[in-house]
Amino acid sequence: MSAPRYAVFGQPIAHSQSPRIQSAFGKAHGIAVDYRAIEASPEGFPAALEAFAADGGVGANVTLPHKEAAFALCTTTTSRAQRAGAVNTLLRKGERWHGDNTDGIGLVRDLTGRHGLDLRGRRVLLLGAGGAARGVAPALLDAGILELVVVNRSPERADALVDAMSEPGRAISAYWEALREQGDFELIINATSAARGEGTGFNLPLSLINSMTTAVDLNYGEAAIPFLAWARAAGCRNSFDGLGMLVEQAAESFQQWHGMRPETDAIYAELRGRDALLVTAD
């Protein structure tokens, strides 16, 4: 019988900091963690996941572009995964997968705990409607924001995300081309992968900004540079990348797998202090 194994699935995945984070959590709790990064194409993901289970896999994280596919492969899911329609944390139960989504609670913990933001009563603009956006939208609403405006290049995806939230009046969709008509926001979240690997600038209307605006990119490292550069040039009060969210959602996953929630500040500080290329969000 193989020892319990854990992994993160994605494409690309070589960049992932998740093995480093999970290893640090395990070390802090005296647990030997066998956690690896597994590259899988969208077409090959289901087979790769089953091969992993057959080889002793009992838990996994899922990153781009597999979060919605992972949801479909689960026999049971948590209520927050159901609201999101996306899964980033898997737990093997017998011969089946149980799915959860820890992205949203990870983001809220990072923003409210690490950065001291009060999300209550805020207007929030969410750019993107894929698996990452789906993961954070429910948690933002639960955190007490006033209104969530979802904008996506494909309007039907934004409409589908808003419909899934079942929060008429609080969660609405809008056209990307009509951003100038949306007023200003206290929180702008980039959940798109538009800047990944392109090295191009990020451009949004300055009318979205007010004196309290915080900008957050769910990507981290190089992939977050274009959006954060725009945020700073536009005069946003705060701008953060997704590294803190990554660490916090990883802690939630670790707790589900091992029954204890690790302290996150040490590994966050270690990763934040490195100048190595930390690219794209998990």
Confidence at residue 40, expressed as pLDDT on a 0 to 100 scale: 98
Confidence at residue 199, expressed as pLDDT on a 0 to 100 scale: 43
> Per-residue pLDDT for 280 more than 80?
no
Q: Is 218 annotated as a binding residue?
A: yes
Residue 144 lies in a domain: yes
Global pTM value: 0.93
Q: Is 223 annotated as a binding residue?
A: no
Residue 265 lies in a domain: yes
Tokens of 3: 């020892």
Tokens of 32: 């030997």
Tokens of 24: 């640090």
Measured in whole angstroms, the distance separating CA 54 from the mean position of its chain's CA atoms is: 27
Local confidence band at 198 (pLDDT 50, 70, 90 cut-offs): very low
> Per-residue pLDDT for 244 more than 80?
yes
CA–CA gap between residue 177 and residue 129 (Å, rounded)? 15
Confidence at residue 194, expressed as pLDDT on a 0 to 100 scale: 63
Residue 259 lies in a domain: yes
Residue 258 lies in a domain: yes
Q: Is 249 annotated as a binding residue?
A: yes
Tokens of 60: 């996994």
> Per-residue pLDDT for 159 more than 70?
yes
Residues 140-166: what's their mean pLDDT?
A: 96
> Per-residue pLDDT for 277 more than 50?
no
226 & 121 share domain: yes
Local confidence band at 222 (pLDDT 50, 70, 90 cut-offs): confident
Residues 82-102: what's their mean pLDDT?
A: 96
Q: Is 214 annotated as a binding residue?
A: no
Residues 63-90: what's their mean pLDDT?
A: 96
Using only C-alpha atoms, the chain has a radius of gyration, in whole angstroms, of 18
Q: Is 96 helix (H, G, I), strand (E, B) or coil?
A: strand
Q: Is 104 annotated as a binding residue?
A: no
233 & 141 share domain: yes
Q: How far is CA 211 from CA 123, 126, 168, 208, in A?
A: 13, 18, 28, 10
> Per-residue pLDDT for 196 more than 60?
no
94 & 162 share domain: no
67 is catalytic: yes
> Per-residue pLDDT for 206 more than 90?
yes
Give tens-digit pLDDT for 109-131: 999 999 999 999 999 999 999 99
Q: Is 130 helix (H, G, I), strand (E, B) or coil?
A: coil
- Domain of residue 11 covers 5-103+244-272
Residue 280 lies in a domain: no
123 & 60 share domain: no
Q: Is 18 annotated as a binding residue?
A: yes
116 & 221 share domain: yes
Q: What is the mean pLDDT of the chain?
A: 93
Confidence at residue 223, expressed as pLDDT on a 0 to 100 scale: 87
Q: How far is CA 22 from CA 29, 51, 58, 99, in A?
A: 11, 21, 14, 18
Q: Could you say which DSSP state residue 176 is in?
A: G
Local confidence band at 15 (pLDDT 50, 70, 90 cut-offs): confident
Q: Is 193 annotated as a binding residue?
A: no
The catalytic residue among 5, 15, 66, 67 is 67
> Per-residue pLDDT for 279 more than 80?
no
Residue 278 lies in a domain: no
Confidence at residue 197, expressed as pLDDT on a 0 to 100 scale: 41
Closest CA to 279 of 11, 39, 16: 16
Q: How far is CA 230 from CA 116, 183, 225, 237, 259, in A?
A: 22, 18, 9, 12, 41
CA–CA gap between residue 204 and residue 174 (Å, rounded)? 14
32 & 131 share domain: no
Higher pLDDT, 244 or 193: 244
CA–CA gap between residue 100 and residue 87 (Å, rounded)? 5
Q: Is 182 annotated as a binding residue?
A: no
121 & 220 share domain: yes
Q: Is 132 annotated as a binding residue?
A: yes
Local confidence band at 202 (pLDDT 50, 70, 90 cut-offs): confident
